[in-house]
Amino acid sequence: MHQSAIAHSHVPSQSKIALVTGANQGVGFQIAKALSDNGYMVYVGSRNWGNGQKAAQDIGGRAQAIQLDVTVPSSIEAAVAQVEKEFGRLDLLVNNAAISHAGKPGRTLEAVMQANRASVASLEEMRNVWETNVFGVLAVTQAFLPLLRQSSAARIVNVSSALGSLTLNSDPSWPFYGSFEVIYGASKTALNAITLALALELKEANINVRAVSPGFTATALNNFQGTDTVEEGSREPVRVALDEDGHSGQFTGPGEVIIPW
């Protein structure tokens, strides 16, 4: 295990402890930076520890890198062990890590969308994407639940997408109507289902669980073809991550709009 970048003895005991997966770039980086700027001790989760370390240095404050590949059980277990050893609890888990496709790199967004359609989608590619976007989220959440239960007011934020909304996808007036596909889009539908299931189950434990959509943000997910900047797309995820009083089981998007499941 890598030596922690910051000695936990320097962190005030009242500080809130957060972990953001896939936080070395894009929306995850912006969420981690906002949390750090607001006094959180933030673990910057990254598959590549070096990339996470650089991101943590760029963020500053009380941010530190933690190696975390959401598809590798031993990586998840090591991350849990590190947080448990250093703080004994986790106040906020942001499940941000996601991939949009696992096929050939360099394709346009349109080419990826076509390849992801239900009639032709590669089941192997579907399994790879769902391994990160769906199973990885649940694996990380299950593993960190004991530490979240040690918090007086724990929260889980799942970074989803309106592209996973079955209600919107079945509405002919929706701008993206007809673009629903089974690899990325349906993975977010499954993530939404997991979010709701967790929100209902953990209500009595006082653990708040929410989903949030960044909007159509220019990130590595879509070869940077999104229409919103990372800063614009991060506004709602950052707001939700910092919001300690929001309703559990809610799915929101840009402008605080409630998105239907």
Q: Is 219 exposed, middle or buried (0-12, 13-18, 19+ CB in 10 A)?
A: buried
Q: Comparing 42-46, 71-75, 222-226, which segment has the lowest mean pLDDT?
A: 222-226
Whole-prediction pTM value? 0.90
Residue, of 255 and 95, whose pLDDT is higher: 95
**Is 188 known to be catalytic?**
yes
Q: Per-residue pLDDT tens for 169-193?
A: 999 999 889 989 999 999 999 999 9
Tell me the mean pLDDT in the region 53-76: 97
**Is 184 known to be catalytic?**
yes
CATH no., domain 8-258? 3.40.50.720
Active-site residue, from 16, 43, 188, 203 = 188
Active-site residue, from 16, 33, 43, 184 = 184
pLDDT of residue 228: 57
CA distance linking residue 39 with residue 207, whole number of Å: 21
Q: Per-residue pLDDT tens for 200-242?
A: 999 999 999 999 999 765 444 444 444 456 677 788 999 999 9
pLDDT of residue 13: 52
Nearest to 176 by CA among 259, 62, 56: 259
Q: What band does 167 get if pLDDT is binned at 50, 70 and 90?
A: very high
- Percent of the chain residues topping a pLDDT of 90: 77
**In the chain, domain spans:** 8-258
Q: What band does 112 get if pLDDT is binned at 50, 70 and 90?
A: confident
In this model, does residue 48 exceed pLDDT 60? yes
- Percent of the chain residues topping a pLDDT of 70: 89
Question: Considering the chain, what is the average pLDDT of its residues?
Answer: 89
Q: Is 250 exposed, middle or buried (0-12, 13-18, 19+ CB in 10 A)?
A: middle
CA distance linking residue 15 with residue 12, whole number of Å: 5
